[in-house]
Structure 1
Amino acid sequence: MKPSASPSEGSARCPRCGNAFDCGRHSEPFECWCREMPALSADRLEPAGRCLCPECLVAEIARTAKGNQLP
C-alpha cells in the first residue's frame, strides 16, 4: 500500500516517517491492511502509540524477527 498524497477519512500519519497512509483502525467492522501482517509482541508496541505506515510496520516486523533468531 502506498502512502496517500491527500488526506482522506481513513488517513493517518506515520509517527516514524511522517508519511500519510490509509488506516482502518476505527472502522466497524475492523478492516485494515495491517490485519494481514504478522502481529508484533506487546513489548514492541508503544501503549499510546499511533499506527505505523505499511513500510515502517514491515521494517519493525523484520527487526523483531531478526532479533528472535537463534545464533
Structure 2
Amino acid sequence: MNARPVKHSLTLRGHRTSVSLEHIFWQEFRRIARERGLALNLLAAQIDARRGDVGLASAIRVFVLETALQQDQHDPTQTP
C-alpha cells in the first residue's frame, strides 16, 4: 500500500491549484465525481466553496470519507 500523497493540479474558478492526496483518495474522489456525472474540477470547486478555513486536501478527504460512510449506511448488503 502506498500511503504517500500524490500531487495533482485542479482548476477552481479559473485558477490552477495543486492538491496532494493519497492514491486511494484520488481514486474515490474520481469515482464519486463520475458517479455524480460531474467533472472532477467542478466537484472540487463545490467542496472548495464550503470548506471554510480547512485546507482543500483535508476537505476532499473528509468529503470522500463522509460519502463512503453514507453509502455504507444505505447498502443493504452491509452487516452490522
Normalized per residue, the structure richer in strand is 2
TM-score bin, normalised by smaller chain: 0.3 to 0.5
Instruction: Provide the TM-score with structure 1 as the length reference.
Output: 0.36
> Which one scores higher on RCO, CA 8 angstroms, separation ≥ 6?
1
Higher helix share: 2
